[in-house]
Amino acid sequence: MQTKQKREDEIMKSLRSLMLLLMMVFVPSMVFAAGLGELRVSLLEGDVQFWNEDTGEWVAASINMPLREGDRLWAPEGGRLELMLRDGTCLRLDENSALEILTLDRDSSQFYLTEGYAYVNFRPGRGGVFQLDTPAASIRAYEKAVFKAEVERDGDAEVSVFKGALYAESRSGNTKVSAGRALHIKSREEYADLAPLGGVDNWERWNKDRDGRVYNSRYSLKYLPEELESYAYDFDENGKWVYTNEYGYVWTPTAGISAGWAPYRLGRWTWIMGDYVWVGYEPWGWAPYHYGRWISHNQYGWCWVPPAKGSAFWGPGYVGWVNTSSAVAWVPLAPDEIYYGYGNYGPNSVNISVGIDLGRRPRYRNAFVNNGVTTLHIDTFLRGRHVDHDFRDNPFSSDNFVFGRPKRLPEKIISRPVIKEIPLFRRPPKTLNDYRIHELKASRPLVREKNRSIFTPRAAPKNMPLRNLREKKARDPRTPFGGAQPERDRHAPDIRRPQTQPKSAAEINEEDRRRNPMKNAWQSFDWSRRQNRVPE
C-alpha cells in the first residue's frame, strides 16, 4: 500500500513538474500576446490622444508609447503623429486624422483610417503585407512602397503612390496603382478616377524631409544588432558611440539629459496588459529602455550596452525592483544580470508569473552606483498622486524590503502614459466613439494573398471600373480631388494650424487678428515650454 502511494506521489510530482515546464513555455506567449514591441509612437506634436482597453477613455498620448491591436488614435488641429513598426515602416498622421489599429503580426500589419491624412513608408520584412483600410476602400502593399491616403468625412478616399505599387479594392472591384498615379474612390459611385499625381503640398514635403532623415541614418548600423537597425536614427541623432575595454562600443546619450539624470528616470511606468511598461520621455527613449543593458562608466557616465546579435528581445523595462510599505525603487540592469519579469524576454530573463522561487536576493551592480537608484513614494507610484518623500537610505542596501515590483494593482490613472489635460475643443468628434474594433476586423479581414478579395473573401476580386484622367483635377493642396474641405465640428472653435508662408509676423493682417483672436493666441503660444509632467 505504501509502495502504491509512493508511486502515485511520484507521478503527481512528475505531473507538477511537467505543468510547470508547460507554463514556462506557453504562458509567456500569452503575456503581451498583442506584441507591445511591434509598434511605438516615434514622433508626436500637439494634443494627440489615444484610447485602449486599459484607459477606457481618450487620454493624452506620449512619445515612445507602445501600441497594440485595438488601440485608437486621434490627431486634432495642430497635432501630428509618427508611428514606427519594428521593421522600420513609418505611418504618419496629420491633423484632423483618426486611426484604428486592427492587426499587428510579426510580418504583417493592418490599420483603419477613419478620416484624415496618412502617409506610409512601407519597408516590409520577408513575406510581409501592409493593409490600410478606409470606409470606401482597402489598400494593400506587398513590396516596398511610399504612399499617402486621404479620407473625407463622407468616406471618399484618395491614395497617391510615390514609390512602388499598391492594390486598391472597393466594393466595385480591385485595381493596381503604380508609382506616379493617384486613385480617387467615391463611396457612392461605381467608377473610380485614376490620374497622374498632382503638385507637392506641405504635408507631402514634410514627410519626404522626415523620410530623408529617418532612413538615411547609417553610422549606428555598425554597432547595432540587425534586429535594431531600424532605430539607427534615434542613436545617430541623440548620442554618440564610445569604446570601453570591458564591453567594446557602447552608446551614451547627449540629448534629453540633465544634471542628476539616470536611465529609467525621465518617464513613467504605465500599466498596460497587466504589467508595468516604461514610457521614456527622451526623444531616443525606445530601444535603450526595451533592449540591452546599462553601465555607469567613470569617463562617459551612463552608457547603453546593445544586446548581441540574435539576443535582442523586447522587454517592458530592464530594471531590478524592490518595494517597502512606503516606497518603490528600481535600478537599471547591468550586462548579464537577470531580469525577473512577467513573461518570457529571452536570455538572462526569468518568468516569475509561473511562481518560480527566486532563492537568494539578487545583487545589482548599478544599485551601488551614485545616482543609480530611483525611488518613489508608493502612493505616487500606484495612484499617480505626488507625495513628498525623503528616502535617504538606499532600499537595495536594506533588509527591510520585498524583492520585485508592488503586487497591489494600481489605480486606473496609471494606465495613462503622461498626465496631461486636453482642452475640450481638441477632443475627438463624437462620431468616432461609434467605431468598434471587433466589428471593423470582422468586416475588413487582413488578406495576405493578392488574388483574394477583402470584401468577398470566398471569391477572386473583379476588376475595378476606372475613369482614366489625363491630369488631376484642380484642387486645393489639401482638398481631395477638388472637393470641399472636410466639414469641421461646429462645436469646435475655428483654430487652424499656422501655414508656412514667406511673410513676416508684421505682415499678418490686423483685421484677421481682431476677427479671430483665439487663432492668433494659438499661433503665438510657445509650444516648446510644454513639458510632460514627470513624477518626482
CA quadruple 416, 417, 418, 421: dihedral positive or negative?
Answer: negative
Question: Last residue of a domain, which of 372, 404, 436?
Answer: 404
- Give the contacts of 490 (CB within 8 A, at least 6 positions apart): none
- Give the contacts of 274 (CB within 8 A, at least 6 positions apart): 31, 342
25 within some domain: yes
Domain extent, residue 270, equals: 217-404
Whether residues 240 and 269 fall in one domain: yes
480 within some domain: no
Whether residues 21 and 46 fall in one domain: no
113 within some domain: yes
Q: Comparing C-alpha atoms, which of 414, 418, 441 is closest to residue 70?
A: 441
Whether residues 180 and 242 fall in one domain: no
495 within some domain: no
Whether residues 263 and 350 fall in one domain: yes
Q: How many distinct structural domains can be found in the chain?
A: 3
CB 65 within 8 A of CB 417: yes
pLDDT digits (tens, 9 = 90+) for 65-81: 999 999 999 999 999 99
pLDDT digits (tens, 9 = 90+) for 391-415: 777 888 877 788 889 988 999 999 9
Mean pLDDT, range 459-465, rounded to an integer? 88
- The pTM (predicted TM-score) of the whole model is 0.82
Question: Last residue of a domain, which of 404, 434, 457?
Answer: 404
Q: What is the CATH number of the domain that holds 172?
A: 2.60.120.1440
pLDDT digits (tens, 9 = 90+) for 228-287: 999 999 999 999 999 999 999 999 999 989 888 999 999 999 999 999 999 999 999 999
C-alpha dihedral, 388 to 390 to 395 to 399, nearest 10°: -110
CB 301 within 8 A of CB 287: no
508 within some domain: no
Whether residues 127 and 243 fall in one domain: no
The DSSP bridge pattern shows strands 339-341 and 349-351 to be parallel
Whether residues 159 and 305 fall in one domain: no
135 within some domain: yes
Whether residues 259 and 357 fall in one domain: yes
Alpha-carbon distances, residue 268 vs 62, 316, 384, 385, 415 (angstroms): 10, 12, 10, 13, 10
pLDDT digits (tens, 9 = 90+) for 473-515: 655 555 444 443 444 343 343 333 333 344 444 444 444 444 4
300 within some domain: yes
Whether residues 375 and 250 fall in one domain: yes
Whether residues 155 and 235 fall in one domain: no
Whether residues 321 and 172 fall in one domain: no
Whether residues 65 and 1 fall in one domain: no
Whether residues 336 and 222 fall in one domain: yes
Give me 413's grid cell: 490613472
205 within some domain: no
